[in-house]
Amino acid sequence: MAELTRKSLGPNQHTGVAPAPRRRVLLPLPLQAGAYDYALPAGLDAPPGSFVVVPLGPRESIGVVWDGEPDPDLPARKVKPIAGVLDVPPMTESLRRFVEWVATYTLSPPGAVLRMAMSAPAALEPPAAKAGWQIAPGSIREGLKLTAARQRVLDILGPGEVRSGTELAEAAGVSPGVVRGLADAGLLIPGLLPKGAAFPLPDPDHPGPTLAPDQAAAAEALRGKVAKRDFDVTLLTGVTGSGKTEVYLDAVAECLRQGRQALVLLPEIALSAQWLERFRRRFGVDPALWHSELSSRTRRDTWRAVAEGAAPVLVGARSALFLPFPDLGLVVVDEEHETAFKQEDGVIYHARDMAVVRARQAQAAIVLVSATPSLETLTNAETGRYDHLHLHERHGSAGLPAVEAIDLRQTPPERGRFLSPPLIEAVRDTLARGEQAMLFLNRRGYAPLTLCRVCGHRMRCPNCTAWLVEHRAQRRLQCHHCGHAEPIPRFCPECHAEGSLTPVGPGVERVLEEVEQLFPDARRIVMASDTIPGPAAATAAAEAIATRQVDLIIGTQIVAKGWHFPHLTLVGVVDADLGLAGGDLRAAERTLQLLHQVSGRAGRAEAPGKVLLQTFSPDHPVMRALVSGDVAAFMEEEAAGRRPGHWPPFGRLAALIVSSEDEQEADRAARDLGLAAPRVAGVEVLGPAPAPLALLRGRHRRRLLLKARRDVPVQPVLREWIARVDLPNSVRVQVDVDPVGFL
């Protein structure tokens, strides 16, 4: 009753004290509710963007002061006070708008997106000031008698300079005891170390290569766009080896001159040793890096340096989009067609598309780079939404490699082997000339399937709809989806026959085995994610290849990426048809992109390159496009195929993946969603159907696909649809807007 009275009086007529102002605070948690209201205690200043500590239930949490009006009707007793404001640059308005945009587009709770923008919580605490030593003022007098060791320490320190004890001892070549002795004698006193210089400033005028005429023209156009300091999208294309990287590095230089920050997104940052080497050559220093393998300390320092504007150029994986750049002037998305830019769990988003949005919010230029752009981007360029710059030839004297198909129906490999006679011949010739050859097969392990010769039983993963892949070196069968592994059994689990299990089909390990028999003298290296686990291994491998300590490279898709191996003249694709199977909308486009990129590794210096594609369908449009080199015609055909049915990019798609540990429950939920499907003009729902991976990590999965005309905004339709259906908590519904994978 008392409460009611107070409310009717208005909160403050009673006391005459002005109400504590309120702020909306968004927490980095996947809460549907969005921002919560908190009271701002007197004396505290927290404008939007401030990082604040707030009570949350029995704990405290860090959040960001968000925009918008707090709810005036929320009773004061329900509004807890902000506990403190953190000493870190506030999140910029443009990043806040970006977080909201991504949340709305992907149908994710805003807090889940905010969490990606706060991925280094330790960076929110001010870096602890560290203590070192400095010369005590007035302590150095004429005639002061010192040991040589002590003198050397004092000689190193300039007036007022502070250095750490370890550093001092090392620089003077003395033991740490000498430094302590000087402190005990009062000649050194403690001082605070200066904050570590975060990242050196890349020098935009560091001498770079002289650009060829069409490179120079493209670079000039890009510099102009960066200098405009406004949103602008450009597609930069050109065959592999045409020098696109040097062109966009020139745009990075202009961004530095403008005093703004540049962000370069690479699909596989952990494997970009050669790229970093080029950056170093162009700018004299290393860029800041952002990827999942950073130590937590580097992560913290980098996040903070970005926030403080002290990291002028950052090169990273897709998650770098959510770093707190105060003044982003340029975004580059290299290999923009790569599916690695799509994040498939948590907040499901496509970093290439979101990069365009980020650039728009930041009024920055963005460059999408590829030899084989996605049909999405190509269409945007054709309709004039994006500008298009194109480099016509390979840099220097290098020509494009000659591509030929090997028809496996005509010249099959020997029984139980995977390399056909013409390919073996070509490898032999290449090695005889002292050049390097590469065999490409996008499959890790020894064999993709293990089968019982007696009863036909196939070894499957218990948690996933997937065969187990033999990894011979570890003597294990592995699931490439959930990580399940088991020893290769001696007896068939079905019919108990002994020694009957036999590998079917090749992985890179099996190709290696064949090569060992065919070319015992060739020095070999296998490049796959399990043999090249990180940046150090990638650098070592690239080094070994560049210095000709390797003759034959056998690799999965990681060898397709950006490498420049001047002595590599032959690329053999062991199974060019792999990837074409299955009902995936983009299977052909993706296969073409991957194989074109692999082919581009051949003949990048003077010696001409050759590419051989082993295929059972040499007449397939993908093979024909690779052989003729006419990628443009292939993409036109793709477009013609997708336009009439309103398939992307001429229409929109969104997938719902319904999953549960209980199969019946998954079926029921999928059926209920199917029955509640929206009836909206221009929208069609396909499914439900079991997902190709109908069981994944122990969850049963069903898919529904919403297809809409381009002019239909699908998010509101999806939101209403899902809200209409009551689902048990144990059922998860993932929304994948613009799906790339269809597993």
- Binding residues vs Zn ion (CB under 5 A): 461, 463-464, 479, 481-482, 484
Of 260 and 337, CB closest to ligand ADP: 337
Residue 705: contacted member of ligand ADP, Zn ion, none (CB under 5 to 8 Å, by partner type): none
| Cα R_g (the chain), whole angstroms | 30
Of 88 and 560, CB closest to ligand ADP: 560
Q: What is the dihedral of CA 186, 188, 189, 193, to 10 degrees?
A: -170
| Token code pair at residue 739 | 């799906």
Burial class (CB in 10 A: 0-12, 13-18, 19+), 562: buried
Return d(Cα 721, Cα 715) in angstroms, integer. 10
Cα 453 to Cα 402, 449, 458, 495: the distances in Å are 41, 12, 10, 10
Q: How far is the CB of 318 from ligand ADP (least distance, A)?
A: 20
Q: How far is the CB of 444 from ligand ADP (least distance, A)?
A: 25
Residue 245: contacted member of Zn ion, ligand ADP, none (CB under 5 to 8 Å, by partner type): ligand ADP
Residue 482: contacted member of ligand ADP, Zn ion, none (CB under 5 to 8 Å, by partner type): Zn ion
Residues present in the chain in total: 743
Q: How far is the CB of 486 from Zn ion (least distance, A)?
A: 11
CA distance between the termini of the chain: 58
Residue 242: contacted member of ligand ADP, Zn ion, none (CB under 5 to 8 Å, by partner type): ligand ADP
Q: How far is the CB of 173 from ligand ADP (least distance, A)?
A: 41
Return d(Cα 557, Cα 30) in angstroms, integer. 34
Residues 6+ positions from 536 with CB-CB distance below 8 Å: none
Strands of 681-743 (E only): list them: 683-696, 699-709, 732-737
Residue 479: contacted member of Zn ion, ligand ADP, none (CB under 5 to 8 Å, by partner type): Zn ion
Of 238 and 618, CB closest to ligand ADP: 238
């400095």: which residue's tokens? 134
Of 500 and 557, CB closest to ligand ADP: 557
Residue 335: contacted member of ligand ADP, Zn ion, none (CB under 5 to 8 Å, by partner type): none
Q: How far is the CB of 275 from ligand ADP (least distance, A)?
A: 9
For residue 86, which of 125, 128, 29, 44 has the smallest C-alpha distance? 125
Q: How far is the CB of 222 from ligand ADP (least distance, A)?
A: 14
Of 464 and 731, CB closest to Zn ion: 464
Residue 5: contacted member of Zn ion, ligand ADP, none (CB under 5 to 8 Å, by partner type): none
Of 221 and 497, CB closest to ligand ADP: 221
Of 236 and 673, CB closest to ligand ADP: 236
């056909």: which residue's tokens? 420
Return d(Cα 75, Cα 15) in angstroms, integer. 15
Of 394 and 610, CB closest to ligand ADP: 394
Of 393 and 429, CB closest to ligand ADP: 393
Of 154 and 482, CB closest to Zn ion: 482
DSSP 221-273: HHHHHHHTTS-EEEEEEE-TTS-HHHHHHHHHHHHHHTT-EEEEE-TTGGG-H
Q: How far is the CB of 457 from Zn ion (least distance, A)?
A: 17
Cα 354 to Cα 98, 99, 350, 370: the distances in Å are 9, 10, 6, 17
DSSP 176-216: HHHHHHHHHTTSEEEEEPPPPP-SPPP-TTS--PPPPHHHH
Residue 243: contacted member of ligand ADP, Zn ion, none (CB under 5 to 8 Å, by partner type): ligand ADP
Residue 241: contacted member of Zn ion, ligand ADP, none (CB under 5 to 8 Å, by partner type): ligand ADP
Q: How far is the CB of 459 from Zn ion (least distance, A)?
A: 12
Residue 238: contacted member of Zn ion, ligand ADP, none (CB under 5 to 8 Å, by partner type): ligand ADP
Cα 561 to Cα 332, 538, 596: the distances in Å are 16, 11, 11
Q: For residue 106, what is the enclosing H or E element?
A: helix 93-106
Amino acid sitting at position 231:
F
Of 47 and 483, CB closest to Zn ion: 483
Q: How far is the CB of 479 from Zn ion (least distance, A)?
A: 3
- Determine if the peptide bond prior to 649 is cis (ω within 30°): yes
Residue 211: contacted member of Zn ion, ligand ADP, none (CB under 5 to 8 Å, by partner type): ligand ADP
DSSP 300-314: HHHHHHHHTT--SEE
Return d(Cα 496, Cα 444) in angstroms, integer. 28
Q: How far is the CB of 210 from ligand ADP (least distance, A)?
A: 6
Q: How far is the CB of 21 from ligand ADP (least distance, A)?
A: 53
Q: How far is the CB of 395 from ligand ADP (least distance, A)?
A: 4
Return d(Cα 658, Cα 721) in angstroms, integer. 14
Residue 484: contacted member of ligand ADP, Zn ion, none (CB under 5 to 8 Å, by partner type): Zn ion
Please tell me what DSSP assigns to residue 739. -
Of 235 and 466, CB closest to Zn ion: 466
Of 444 and 561, CB closest to Zn ion: 444
Residue 564: contacted member of Zn ion, ligand ADP, none (CB under 5 to 8 Å, by partner type): ligand ADP
Return d(Cα 249, Cα 245) in angstroms, integer. 6
Return d(Cα 407, Cα 405) in angstroms, integer. 6
- Classify the C-alpha dihedral 647-650-656-657 as positive or negative: positive
Q: How far is the CB of 463 from Zn ion (least distance, A)?
A: 4
Of 210 and 664, CB closest to ligand ADP: 210
Residue 212: contacted member of ligand ADP, Zn ion, none (CB under 5 to 8 Å, by partner type): ligand ADP
Binding residues (CB under 6 A) for ligand ADP: these are 209-212, 215, 238, 240-246, 278, 395, 564
Residue 464: contacted member of Zn ion, ligand ADP, none (CB under 5 to 8 Å, by partner type): Zn ion
| Token code pair at residue 332 | 């580059």
For residue 552, which of 517, 515, 596 has the smallest C-alpha distance? 515
Q: How far is the CB of 629 from ligand ADP (least distance, A)?
A: 15
Of 223 and 642, CB closest to ligand ADP: 223
Q: How far is the CB of 567 from ligand ADP (least distance, A)?
A: 13
